[in-house]
Chains A and B, each alone.
Chain A
């Protein structure tokens, strides 16, 4: 076997320039896929991380019908304490669930005493919220130096950066929030601006934050109500399985007309970034497809040329007793060797490129998010898959020319001019 590959390497080196150019082309294809996968994977992971760990959480549970009308923050679709208890019962018993947190979503009027605008607010239980969205505090800047212990205190509001800038509101300023409760009556309370939060992509990315108890006071709730329950799993890869389990567990709760009481959504259904992520996956798949085409056409071309250039040699091999199977093996070994050399070169250069991109960091803006930092990486399993695909395509591309060589009649091949 080693001898066959040794002969294959020598045969490839007969036409050094052709082999080099073909190998370079395949190497370039592998390099492109590695770099694109590294960059797009890093971008996707960072964005999904921002969305699930610093804003939406991984899963949200609402009263049925809330998500379809969430733009108006309908307070009549809140969950009462009985509903919340039922959800908690389900979440407690599921082994994949790590943490959950109640939230109230509301719309309000914000005034700095000279200007007024509308604002969407996310009222949270700060201790529970950091367990479902551990990075939410990283988006916030507070008046005190360094990160403070509490995410939000009662009597404080955290405003989105663009809104605060537009209304010239600074940390420590007092503002008024005016909100309608679900009966339509209006209430207003003063709040101190305790922090500024960065905008993230998505419909809930421009929300301000307040304490859940303050929201209950502002909305004059007689009984505690919540809008949603945010859920974090122990393992993000369990998202689909856990979502399906929870969905079926929640489906047991029906209303008077036998319709489900709750609805459950993963972040994918709540954030428009999911479609961008799918587009990125599609582009990555397209890159891989282009690479497969490059490998296929390059190796097929080289191997067909190689067979036609060596017809007499094939005749000689056959005449001195080389069986058709071994002749096929020799040509297959050439295609595989060409693929292998390119895989190794592509992987080395690709990993070098990823390493360089991590040294010379790439910063970019996405939507209203600035100064995002890309840290591209590729995992070993992805590299192995990529290498395996290139290798399989190399074998596939060599099959037809190798078969053609093995089927040559020795007497015709020896007489070839």
Chain B
């Protein structure tokens, strides 16, 4: 069974008197441990898609199941509990808590969401900080870190609860090309190390090439999907799914 099953979802927004269709009749599935990208221009529905998968929002029509659970009907509290137990989030603007150190930012979900013992918390936090190469920066506050370092901390925060799925909305949009590619590769390494499914959105062609599965959205519709084999050199392995 796929980790994410999306069936005929539509999402409409009411903007004043105008109804905007953000997503239209999309059906797709995402397998476990996949490294998937939603691509498309601004306003194509990438963020809306991630919000629906992450049960931050509810579809107007259709059904979304994550890890076998229908997330399209969860209320605010159920959604939060579900996200805390199964999902990790990475944001375009990093969204680290400015008053906490890098270590404390990573620790936050374990304190506020998982409620783990201090010893287990420390073990897990140091493990992921080490994995993202930020162990030496753990005592710095976000304003003392570069953009790339902040996003590494955000990746560590997303992974520290050992989620099945990490959603990353434009995780490289605020980074230069080289750092952006490094972050995406770090995410892929983390997928390999922790066997976590990564779904990210981007409109950067250089970044999208790093994904193994690419779903392209245009005007709220899934225009096409393609799968690339990571081990094969770029440009030689594209195949329509």
> Are A321 and B109 within 8 A (Cβ)?
yes
A-B interface pairs (CB < 8 A), number: 76
Tell me the minimal C-beta distance from B200 to chain A in angstroms: 15
Taken residue by residue from 1 to 15, chain A's Cβ proximity to chain B (1 for < 8 Å, 0 otherwise) reads as 001000100110110
Tell me the minimal C-beta distance from B210 to chain A in angstroms: 23
CA distance A313 to B81 in the complex (A): 18
Q: Which residues of B contact A410 (CB under 8 A)?
A: 56, 76, 79-80
Chain-B contact segment, one of A131-139, A229-237, A322-330, A361-369 = A322-330
Interface size on A, as a range, is: 20 to 34
CA distance A188 to B149 in the complex (A): 106
Residues of A314-372 whose CB lies within 8 A of B: 315-326
Which of these, A11, A312, A321, A324, contacts B113 with CB under 8 Å? A321
> Are A322 and B95 within 8 A (Cβ)?
no
A411 contacts partner chain B, Cβ-Cβ < 8 Å? yes
Q: With A7-B99, A312-B95 as known contacts, state yes or no: A323 contacts B51, CB within 8 Å.
A: no
A409 contacts partner chain B, Cβ-Cβ < 8 Å? yes
> Are A321 and B76 within 8 A (Cβ)?
no
Q: Which residues of A contact B76 (CB under 8 A)?
A: 318, 324, 407, 409-410
Residues of A1-56 whose CB lies within 8 A of B: 3, 7, 10-11, 13-14
Q: Which residues of A contact B89 (CB under 8 A)?
A: 316, 319-320
Q: Which residues of B contact A407 (CB under 8 A)?
A: 76
> Are A323 and B80 within 8 A (Cβ)?
yes
> Are B56 and A319 within 8 A (Cβ)?
yes
> Are A317 and B112 within 8 A (Cβ)?
yes
CA distance A387 to B157 in the complex (A): 39
Q: With A313-B95, A414-B56 as known contacts, state yes or no: A321 contacts B100, CB within 8 Å.
A: no
Tell me the minimal C-beta distance from B15 to chain A in angstroms: 13
CA distance A322 to B83 in the complex (A): 9
Nearest chain-B residue to A406 (Cβ)?
Answer: B76
Q: Which residues of B contact A322 (CB under 8 A)?
A: 80, 84, 112-113
Nearest chain-B residue to A8 (Cβ)?
Answer: B99
The A contact surface, by secondary structure, is helix
Q: Which residues of B contact A313 (CB under 8 A)?
A: 95, 97
Q: Which residues of B contact A10 (CB under 8 A)?
A: 99-100
Tell me the minimal C-beta distance from A179 to chain B in angstroms: 84
Q: Which residues of A contact B98 (CB under 8 A)?
A: 14
Taken residue by residue from 107 to 121, chain B's Cβ proximity to chain A (1 for < 8 Å, 0 otherwise) reads as 011011100000000
> Are A320 and B84 within 8 A (Cβ)?
yes
Tell me the minimal C-beta distance from A267 to chain B in angstroms: 58
B54 contacts partner chain A, Cβ-Cβ < 8 Å? yes
Q: Which residues of A contact B112 (CB under 8 A)?
A: 3, 317, 321-322, 326
Tell me the minimal C-beta distance from A49 to chain B in angstroms: 54
Tell me the minimal C-beta distance from B113 to chain A in angstroms: 4
B91 contacts partner chain A, Cβ-Cβ < 8 Å? yes
Which of these, B56, B88, B91, B95, contacts A411 with CB under 8 Å? B56
Q: Which residues of A contact B109 (CB under 8 A)?
A: 320-321
B85 contacts partner chain A, Cβ-Cβ < 8 Å? yes
Tell me the minimal C-beta distance from B23 to chain A in angstroms: 13
B57 contacts partner chain A, Cβ-Cβ < 8 Å? yes
> Are A321 and B51 within 8 A (Cβ)?
no
Which of these, A7, A318, A411, contacts B100 with CB under 8 Å? A7
B123 contacts partner chain A, Cβ-Cβ < 8 Å? no
> Are B85 and A320 within 8 A (Cβ)?
no
CA distance A294 to B91 in the complex (A): 40
CA distance A409 to B57 in the complex (A): 8
Q: Which residues of B contact A315 (CB under 8 A)?
A: 95
B64 contacts partner chain A, Cβ-Cβ < 8 Å? no
Taken residue by residue from 382 to 413, chain A's Cβ proximity to chain B (1 for < 8 Å, 0 otherwise) reads as 00000000000000000000000001011100
B77 contacts partner chain A, Cβ-Cβ < 8 Å? yes
Nearest chain-B residue to A413 (Cβ)?
Answer: B56
Q: With A10-B100, A14-B98, A316-B95 as known contacts, state yes or no: A411 contacts B57, CB within 8 Å.
A: yes
B165 contacts partner chain A, Cβ-Cβ < 8 Å? no
CA distance A13 to B99 in the complex (A): 8
Which of B87, B111, B112 has the most CB atoms of chain A within a 10 A radius of its CB?
A: B112
CA distance A402 to B100 in the complex (A): 20
Tell me the minimal C-beta distance from B106 to chain A in angstroms: 11
Taken residue by residue from 64 to 100, chain B's Cβ proximity to chain A (1 for < 8 Å, 0 otherwise) reads as 0000000000001101111111011101010101111
CA distance A320 to B81 in the complex (A): 9
> Are A321 and B84 within 8 A (Cβ)?
yes
> Are B57 and A320 within 8 A (Cβ)?
no
Q: Which residues of B contact A325 (CB under 8 A)?
A: 77
Q: Which residues of B contact A3 (CB under 8 A)?
A: 111-112
Taken residue by residue from 278 to 299, chain A's Cβ proximity to chain B (1 for < 8 Å, 0 otherwise) reads as 0000000000000000000000
Q: Which residues of A contact B82 (CB under 8 A)?
A: 321
Tell me the minimal C-beta distance from A334 to chain B in angstroms: 11
Q: Which residues of B contact A324 (CB under 8 A)?
A: 76-77, 80
Which of these, B57, B83, B91, contacts A321 with CB under 8 Å? B83
Q: With A317-B112, A411-B56 as known contacts, state yes or no: A323 contacts B99, CB within 8 Å.
A: no
Q: Which residues of A contact B85 (CB under 8 A)?
A: 321
Q: Which residues of B contact A414 (CB under 8 A)?
A: 56, 91, 95
Q: Which residues of A contact B81 (CB under 8 A)?
A: 321, 323
Q: Which residues of B contact A7 (CB under 8 A)?
A: 97, 99-100
Tell me the minimal C-beta distance from A239 to chain B in angstroms: 55
Tell me the minimal C-beta distance from A148 to chain B in angstroms: 73
Tell me the minimal C-beta distance from A91 to chain B in angstroms: 67
CA distance A21 to B112 in the complex (A): 30
Given contacts A3-B111, A411-B56, 15 further A-B contacts (CB under 8 A): A7-B97, A11-B99, A313-B95, A316-B89, A316-B97, A319-B56, A319-B83, A319-B91, A320-B83, A321-B87, A321-B113, A322-B84, A324-B80, A407-B76, A414-B91
5 inter-chain pairs at a CB distance below 8 angstroms, sorted by A residue, are A10-B100, A321-B84, A321-B109, A323-B80, A323-B81
